[in-house]
Amino acid sequence: MKIAVIGGGIVGSLIARELTRYEADVLLFEKEADIGWGVTKANSAIVHGCFHETPGTKRASFCVEGNRLYEALSRDLDVPFKRIGAYVVALCDDEIPILEELYEQGLQNGVPGLEIHDRETVLSREPHLNPSVIAGLWSPSVGITEPWALAIAAVENAVNNGLDLHTAEAVTSINVMDGHVKGIITEKGEYKVDAIVNAAGLFADRVADMAGLPSQVIFPRRGEYALLDKKGGSIVSSVIFPTPNTISKGTLVVPTVDGGILLGPTAEDLDREAKDATETTDHGVHEAIEGARRLVPGLDLSLVVKTFAGLRPETPNKQFVIGSTEVNEFFQAAGMRSPGLTAAPAVAQFLVHDVMAQDLSLDERRNFDPIRHGIRRVFDLAGKDADALIKSDPRYGRVICQCNHVTEGEIVEAIHRGARTLDGVKFRTRAGFGRCQGGFCTDKILMILARELGLSPKDITLRGVESVMLSRKVRP
């Protein structure tokens, strides 16, 4: 049995990993040069508590179960996950009933530990909040993670369990005969496959079209952000939400796992075809910052190191599209809007174990290994362990990214694990993610990539074709 997964975002990566628990040849096709570069790359990175979700919906149940699974999954795959909790804050009397509604909704969804705190308690725990705060809904199960790192780790683990990974290979058509899946055609070749999973994120409607399914609509909803340097990281210790509006959970203040602070996102519906419109706008970034400042007025904006935007894959009825379809052996995990990151582990388990394994009569393998070890970060090691590592390989003693303390040894390890581009190194090691945003280390990382890959520096790109770094000499 040959099964192709289309899309190496968080959803497709976790599905591919679950599939490698079974006796099947699993292939993963990703159109980008690396894993996790679609919607998974640019979002709030919150493992939601799930009190925002309407009780009784798939989103609510997958969200609660996904949140529960994060601890063990992150431990198995050696990926950062911190359960730091969250406050939804009411800044005026009119917002109190909204907190109560979210609390009730959370109870119905089975969210653990919810409490409504008075002003004094909220301010004693988050002293930098707007002093006008009246009350806060506390949700201790909310966590933060590194979504792209989890996707990369899941694929690394899946490859160790037999996954056949095809990056930089877009699927261009699907062969269906007499209502059954027969094969897949990519920009590089043709593959006979027995089943397909559509986990193509924003592009899942186009992939569904390829299989001849009645039209699905997935349109982008842009969310813009500003990221603050680690120096500003201690201003809050939990995720701070405003009360939600009719379109989104609002503009937030979110600690990141590496100690920074994220402000945003906005929510702007775009044309269905604008699936690459990740540019930021003046008004969007302004709205993200002002929304965050309403919650935490003392944010130091001189610490903004980056602005960026992500696109939520929205469906008209706001529901996830998960399961089998009218085309035999064609399965979907599409329309994965927020809280898709939170829900992804539960969605992958449901689709693979409860749907595909039954429909395709898959047998479990005995030798699946769930454990993957992350790249050792010298600065996270105890002194004597760091010394020993540097002694065994002096490249771990050479710091390349000064902002995030990333050594040459870590960069080389990332390349040996599959990084082929500057972004590939950045998303595996955080080199270039810090205050200078690569200003002082890009050239060094580029030369290390060229050396390790045996390529000319001119062949090293930022993120694959069309992102050439060195086009010509400036001096003869």
Ligand X SMILES: Cc1cc2nc3c(=O)[nH]c(=O)nc-3n(C[C@H](O)[C@H](O)[C@H](O)COP(=O)(O)OP(=O)(O)OC[C@H]3O[C@@H](n4cnc5c(N)ncnc54)[C@H](O)[C@@H]3O)c2cc1C
Residues forming the active site = 48
- List the one residue from 4, 5, 6, 69 that touches ligand X (CB under 6 A): 6
Specify the residue, 407 or 421, whose C-beta has the smaller distance to ligand X: 421
| Least distance to ligand X, CB of residue 366, Å | 29
Q: Distance (Å, rounded) from C-alpha 179 to C-alpha 265?
A: 42
Site for ligand X in 146-175 (CB under 6 A): 170-171
| Least distance to ligand X, CB of residue 68, Å | 14
Backbone angles phi, psi at 2, to 5 degrees: -110, 125
- List the one residue from 24, 38, 218, 415 that touches ligand X (CB under 6 A): 38
Which x/- pattern, by CB under 6 A, does the window 414-453 give for ligand X? ----------------------------------------
> Is residue 311 part of the contact set for ligand X (CB under 6 A)?
yes
Q: Distance (Å, rounded) from C-alpha 473 to C-alpha 77?
A: 43
Site for ligand X in 235-264 (CB under 6 A): none
Specify the residue, 224 or 413, whose C-beta has the smaller distance to ligand X: 224
| Least distance to ligand X, CB of residue 40, Å | 3
> Is residue 331 part of the contact set for ligand X (CB under 6 A)?
no
- List the one residue from 49, 106, 255, 340 that touches ligand X (CB under 6 A): 340
| Least distance to ligand X, CB of residue 60, Å | 13
Task: Work out whether strand 86-90 and strand 239-241 pair parallel, antiparallel, or are unpaired.
Answer: parallel
> Is residue 3 part of the contact set for ligand X (CB under 6 A)?
no
For the beta carbon of residue 286, count every other beta carbon within 10 angstroms.
Answer: 13
> Is residue 86 part of the contact set for ligand X (CB under 6 A)?
no
Specify the residue, 9 or 434, whose C-beta has the smaller distance to ligand X: 9
**Burial 51-67, CB ≥16 within 10 A → b, else e:** bbbeeeebbbbbbbbbb
Closest by CA position to 82, among listed 231, 259, 292: 259
- List the one residue from 22, 62, 70, 203 that touches ligand X (CB under 6 A): 203
> Is residue 342 part of the contact set for ligand X (CB under 6 A)?
yes
> Is residue 312 part of the contact set for ligand X (CB under 6 A)?
yes
- List the one residue from 16, 21, 22, 30 that touches ligand X (CB under 6 A): 30
Cβ(216)–Cβ(334) under 8 Å?
Answer: yes
* Residues binding ligand X: number (CB under 6 A): 40
- List the one residue from 26, 46, 64, 299 that touches ligand X (CB under 6 A): 46
| Sites of contact with ligand X (CB under 6 A) | 6-12, 29-32, 37-40, 43-46, 48, 170-171, 199-203, 207, 223, 265, 310-312, 336-342
